[in-house]
Structure 1
Amino acid sequence: MKRILTYATGTALFAALPSFAQEAKTYPAPGEIVAAAKAEEWIAIAPSDLLVMDLAPDAKSKPRRVVIQLMPAPFSQGWIGNIRKLATAKWWDGTSINRVQDNYVVQWGDATDKKALPEGLAVVPESAYATQYVPGAIARRWEGNVVTQAVTVGPRYGGSIYPEGPNIYDSFSQSYSFVSGIPLALSKNRVVTDTSITVTPHEIWPVHCYGMVGVGRNLSPDTGIGAELYTVIGHAPRHLDRNIALVGRVIEGIEHLSSLPRGTGALGFYEKDEERVPIISVRLGNAANDVPAFEYLSTESASFTAYANARANRRDPFFIRPAGGTDICNIPVPVRRKPVK
């Protein structure tokens, strides 16, 4: 009886508290924001901008397919042109995954270094690692604490939220953008006179986030042809930015690469032929079989604004303290298969 009275008393006291104390505001998780995005906020990825790699089936005979979205113009187009020629020539068929270095990269190509390359491949200069900024090159630039529009998310979450922009920060750049869902960094020119300080964008380049795909190379001045490719499977190695070409990002099937056994040789290379994972084929998306339609969430949309802020300031129920900021690689642009009507 004593316990019942205690519980009843506690309930009465709770009921007497002001209503606002009982109704804490609920914030959506990033995934919830993406799931609620409107159909018109998604942008289709052209099949011709996909690179589809089919690996040999796994130990349980399940197929393994990796889909890569290639970099849009004007970025890395010399290497992209080579990759298109290599895929059209079916050059990667019969090659293999040769390197898996923990918390770093998975790399594939010709393990023998003897397979003849198709004719007409370009030699790309190191200057192409970055692109000169021109007005209109990007639609939207993200910087620390830039104010963006408020986002209406409906009555469940209390109307408009996240009026502030995400505080994006790291040691490599202070200004970022996205083009076709690909993360980019910008440098700036700063001109100081006696009467003014003028800051303007200078160069723009893709950055090494998880799942980004790059071109293997030897020592400078070699920049790689595009026959040796790798993808990031660990903490973003941003020190590689502008030191090696990036050509796209994995949008589906990264688990078929990141879960592979680590190589025991130097830099994670496999030491035995049987360790390597055979590549059955690599094709452009418009030349491969059974490729679904993919689309990415527009980075200029209201839903992406809310999503980016939620990634930078997690306030959904699991979290205790919002971080107050994030780096560009912690805002991966969502990609999905286009819903079938």
Structure 2
Amino acid sequence: MKHLLLSAALAASLILPAYGAEPAPIPSPGEIAAAAPASDWVAIAPSDLLVMDLAPDAKGKPRHVVIQLMSAPFSQGWIGNIRKLAAAHWWDGTSVNRVQDNYVAQWGDATEKKALPTGLTAVSESRYVASDPASGQAAVDGKPAIRLSKDEANRRAKQFEQAGKGDIFGGASMADAYAPGVMFESGWPIGYSSAQVPDSRWPLHCYGAVGVGRNLSPDTGSGAELYAVIGHAPRHLDRNIAVVGRVISGIEHLSSLPRGTGALGFYEDAAERVAITSIRVATELPAADQPRFEYLSTESDSFARYADARANRRDPFFITPAGGADICNIPVPVRPVAAK
């Protein structure tokens, strides 16, 4: 009898763990980003941050918007103009004068009479796209494009190949309706012209992207009139308007504004406009007031896991993983950094 009881106990010990063990929780994309080691995060230079202060809201609360300017080689002619406009304090006293639902919030001189500072550059439409001489592309506007090192060219070629296979997104489909291929480059969502040769590339109009307002072609805008995307990604604007950055903090101060009732969402009454107190490059502010941010390196293993989790949601809320993702639905994680 004792032998039978021991045998039964042993059998139970083999069976019970199968019922009692809890499966390991599957992390959400946000949890994956939060757990990324410090080495996977890249500091954003204060010189690449544009700080916009709007007039306080109806309750007297301050409204700060922080914009990260696009990195080279993209849109640098317009960004050079933006730096000059900020240095001249040109936007002080202008306004957010257009808010179109599910589209953009736009700011600048509503009167169109304010004189621009001297020394702004007229930028060619060809600069909507960046090209590399390593790919056989000619210089644009007589200016040489950024020449890649051999290691960087090889890295990009590998990433282009991986993007085509979905490897950097956990095998998820990354078919794109607006570009032959898409990928991330130095923290930015980018479209490109060929899955075989990393030649022509351009930044994408995802949520929060900041672009340059313009008139009809061949005008490309000076950078004095800017907008932020506050709705579904208007990717049809890619390669038609310059993308110069993205809002990384304070988008709610633009996306929650009342919609304009005029054509294209422009405010019909000047009293509806939201005054801009100042726009400065962060390095012009006192050191204690300079915002500090960092982004999750898009070349890191943590980002690969994050992107896979965005495309294949497996955390408890989801029933059926999508098995793919629009690149604009994989926002690059950005977080503030406490001052040291």
The answer for the alignment partner of 2:184 in structure 1 is 178
Aligned pair count?
Answer: 305
* Aligned match of 1:333: 332
Report the secondary structure of 2:30's partner residue. helix
Write out per-residue CA displacement over residues 131-165 of structure 1, whole angstroms, 9 at most, x where no aligned residue: 114453674435254335xxxxxxxxxxxxx8x34
Q: CA deviation at 1:338?
A: 1.4
Pairs within 5 Å for 1:219-258: 219-258=216-255
| TM-score, normalised relative to structure 2 | 0.85
CA shift, 1:174, in A, is 4.0
Residues 193-234 of structure 1 deviation map (CA, whole Å, 9 limit, x = unaligned)? xxxxxx323310000000000000000000000000000000
Structure 2 residue matching 1:225: 3-state secondary structure = coil
- Aligned partners of 1:292, 1:202: CA distance in 2, in Å? 34
| Contact 1:98/1:269, CA 8 A, preserved across alignment | yes
8 Å CA contact 1:169, 1:328 repeated in 2: no
Name the Cα RMSD after superposition: 2.1
Distance 1:334 1:295 in 2: 9
Identity of aligned residues (%): 67
Are 1:273 and 2:270 counterparts?
A: yes
What is the CA–CA distance in structure 2 between the aligned matches of 1:271 and 1:23, rounded to whole Å? 60
| Per-residue deviation, residues 220-271 of structure 1 (Å, max 9, x unmatched) | 0000000000000000000000001000000000000000000000000000
The answer as to whether partners of 1:166 and 1:308 remain within 8 angstroms in 2 is no
CA contact (8 A) 1:143 1:174 kept: no
Cα offset, 1:167, TM superposition: 2.4
The code of the aligned residue for 1:265 comes to G
Higher helix share: 2
For residues 149-168 of structure 1, the aligned pairs below 5 Å read 164-168=170-174
Gap runs ≥5 in structure 2: 1-13, 135-147
Determine which structure has the larger strand proportion and give its number.
1
Task: Pick closer, same or farther for the CA change 1:66–1:292 going to 2, 3 Å.
Answer: same
Shift of 1:102: 0.2
Residue 109 of structure 1, CA deviation: 0.1
CA distance in structure 1 between the aligned counterparts of 2:167 and 2:107, rounded to whole angstroms: 42
CA separation in 2, counterparts of 1:267 and 1:96?
Answer: 16
Whole-angstrom CA distance in 1 between matches of 2:278 and 2:338: 27
Contact 1:103 1:234 in 2 (8 A): yes
Partner residue in 2 for 1:96: 95
Find the residue that maps to 1:185 and give its secondary structure.
strand
| CA–CA separation in structure 1 for the residues paired with 2:179 and 2:75 | 20
Kept in 1, the 8 Å contact 2:180–2:194? The answer is: no
- Bigger mean CA deviation after superposition, 73-82 or 132-141: 132-141
TM-score (norm 1): 0.84
Give the match for residue 315 of structure 1.
314
Q: Which residues of structure 1 form unaligned runs of 5+? A: 1-14, 149-161, 190-198
Give the alignment partner of residue 194 of structure 2, picking from 162, 167, 188.
188
Structure 1 match to 2:130: 131
Letter of the 1:179 counterpart: E
Aligned residues of 2:207 and 2:232 also touching (Cα < 8 A):
yes
Structure 1 position 146 matched with structure 2 position 166: yes
Aligned-partner residue type, residue 146 of structure 1: G
Distance 1:299 1:52 in 2: 24
Instruction: Give me the whole-angstrom Cα distance separating, in 2, the residues matched to 1:101 and 1:147.
Output: 37
CA contact (8 A) 1:144 1:166 kept: no
What's the CA shift for 1:339? 4.0
- In the other structure, the counterpart of 1:59 is 58
Counterpart of 1:86 in structure 2 is 85
Structure 2 contact 128–202 (Cα < 8 Å) conserved: yes
Letter in 1 for 2:318: F
* One-letter identity of the residue aligned with 1:247: V
Q: Distance in 1 between matches of 2:182 and 2:212?
A: 22
- Contact between 1:144 and 1:165, CA under 8 Å: does it hold in 2? no
TM-aligned CA deviation for residue 21 of structure 1: 9.0
Deviations 1:69-114 (A, max 9, x none): 0011111010000000000000000000000000000000000000
> Are the counterparts in 1 of residues 102 and 230 from structure 2 also a CA contact under 8 Å?
yes
Contact 1:43–1:295 (Cα < 8 Å) also in 2: yes
